[in-house]
Structure 1
């Protein structure tokens, strides 16, 4: 029950106990801290490679700077008037397409192979280099609540890091331009080629018409004029529609080419989405466009019948776009944001093309109906109408091409698109960003202190030795009588007096005082001898019995008697006196090791109580059989403890002794 109480008391650690542990183990803390600091310094000087950080800042425009309407370009190419999402642009910056171009432009595969060990050199691939760039080297982050993106490259080669940043910016801006490209760029060459041809044909037909009017002197009727006006409008719409179809097909071809490049294909693969539902929607759209154009021959666009058909057309267009998106999303194999955006643009472009084709079919059907009406007129009227119609068509084509040419001229003269702008150019720093030597040393110092404290507590938990008096007091719950070492009777006079006073507290029936030690402590014998001399000097008849056989170094063996002789002596009054009032019994080589454990020895000690005033018995350390045996019949028990020699186990063993007093021996 008492042992359990000891353990429970020792586990109740206070803040004071923690500080005492740190004080006792300060050497370990300092040692571990110094070693950790030296290791950190060695790492900084000989192992750590300087890492340079090269950064650049890019701004994504909030909206297009162009104030001119460029037609259906944004819809066809998937662009918009607002800035692309910052997170999406970060993914594009770190996309495979951008990083692959960087690897190829800077020959990074050979560079990393040159820095790789021989065995892994041959196994290093382009994909592994791209993965290394993505995970470890290239970082892209957005500035809070802004459209700014910071690109950072960290590498031990500052010139190469600078080149990588420049290459990333270049390739990213190229992709951004492609994703925001207007259809005018696809039409420019076509318009430039067609204008001279149409201009020549227009001159020829105008010459024919003038010649016909001179020879026939024909004045067209009002009905013919009305038909010609309608025919002119339809012809103009047909030309514009055909031109838009051409533009859309160029966009689709360009998107297919870019998709093939992103997917790493050697040649361009044309992709045409198809499904049964899509074909049905196309046919439905074509019928609605034909119906709408037929109604426009009779009514205006504000007529209810025309509005109703127009609304149906918009619904079908949306259904076609949704079906195309579903088909292309099912085909998409990766989560590459650049590829996703290209497929979305392709779906919109195909939807626009199908809508234009349906519109063209409706216009051509309306044109056929007008041709049938013209057949009712006389031949000379029909001939005039044919020439007039051809002139009108050529004029419409020429006017459309000229307008488109002017539009293209303006767009190529400096119109701005949603293209990122470099705000902060990268530069080569003079000093590396990593490692931060001051910070690393500070962290190493803090870590060293932490590890030192941890080592101190671990050592405290595993070290069974007693290091200071506070441990004794904390473990056994009582104060000590302190002695200094090296032992000197004069310096320790007060301690000897206090100890002797405790011996006087014994009863008349039991005057035995047991002195033992926690471990092998020579000062135990000196203390016992001085106590005996002091007791004798006070006129008390004192007996000092050494069962350990260690007192012979401090006393004259000739004046003392052996334990065997002491036990065999019939009368306690006939013991030889060592000095006045002092009798000493020593264990000699002839004495049996078991003699002090015999009942006869105990009986002899008990008999001494009647003849002597004080009886001191010295035993081996507290864990010995003699100490445990003697403690049972002693009135007082004194335990001598010493730092680095005594152990916690010894103290806990002594705790079970009755009337225990602690004597602490430490350096002066």
Structure 2
């Protein structure tokens, strides 16, 4: 290491790779200082921006509000509604958000302290309302075209002010939206809890009535059903009843989406709405197909209940499929006549809209089938004995209340989990930052000169810092100065290679000398001990050198080390006094060179003192910074 190496082009590239942050800091600092000159010529206007992405509703946790829509429909619960992108943008500009920004930045006091001469003469006082209106007027929140991105921007003569406003708009909006979310959630939870208490009482009562009826009429019911014959009917009745409720909930959601498309996107004229209603409700071909669908599906469900092996079932299913396709084609034909303008606006939304209309028609058909099947079951049971019919009604009500009870219980449990699963509707794509360049006046030429100067100073700074850094920078530098190390560790946790080396060489007593970070030394030594202790339980002792240790304890530990068959000791630096004490009792000294930590002079000195040491090169963890 006595001779200076001549730098090659590859060396220069490695230096710049290592010192990229130094170069960037000097570069941008020089640009900033160059721009500072411009502040004395004209008052620049700065614009800060933040880009956020609106996450679709499908990415939100929906089990609590979406999956429980059947419970809401069942019991008339008012659920929190998901707001759209336009609503969220307006919330960002709400008085609550802007008022908090005014207070945090102390804008009222600053505005009154910096009033102009005319305002002072008139005695005009700037109020919080004035500043809220000013922020609302200057704040620009726009949806990036053809994306779910929103750009929040604000211009000010103070770049920090501009960045603070943009950052705080999103910060306070997040708090505001979260508060609204949990207020709605708590209101929903209160409704569910009240209804759950009522349904729970009803469920307890019906259970008592069923038990009393069984006892009074000596009805055996071990399994919880009426009998082998009536159990399927009760199960089918309850399942069908709940299917109706779920169907109504799904239909309600589709109606809301349909109304949103009509009101907020397409802005349909009254004539167009009248056309849709007239054709979907009064068109004879559509009504004929719907009537046929109802009859076929009633027949199908009846056969499934009474004759599940009937060959007629397959034929009915095929016929129903054909009718559903025919119904869809008829509706599409109706829509295509006068709604072509909708397709020209947004074909995807048009297809969604026509799909919703078709699905609503199919829901009507399905609901009629379910209602008819409930009536069929009522009629079937009514033909039997009055006692069994009365018992069936009790069991039917019990099954329905049980389903309501379980649904509400699930709703309560899931709603209470929302606090831990709350997810913001937006994610930040580009964070707000203090703008360095004004949007006006035009300072291109001055900044170009500053850019050239910044590059020169950045290069100079890189070489100066490289010359001042006396640590080993990378493996290439180490090998070029001291040769290839015996072992290379990818990071400070890679202890297995050391253990394998010690095990292969069968070292009984060895020392670990670390020329770097003490925490790394502790961590690696402990890992080595843990692995050795796994291989040879309770055979290997681990000692740690401690500076300023009591002499008696120090020599007692040394004697213990000498009398131990297998042991190793960790030294955190080669100037440690214990290193001299233990040196002659060690079969091998393993020296750890830590990248970007170990001083080159220390390496040179220890290699001159030690004969045939084992050199371990520990690479820097990639997650750590380069500097």
Shorter chain as normaliser: what TM range?
A: 0.3 to 0.5
More helix by share: 2
Tell which has more relative contact order, 1 or 2 (C-alpha 8 A, sep 6+). 2
The two structures have a TM-score, normalised by structure 1, of 0.39
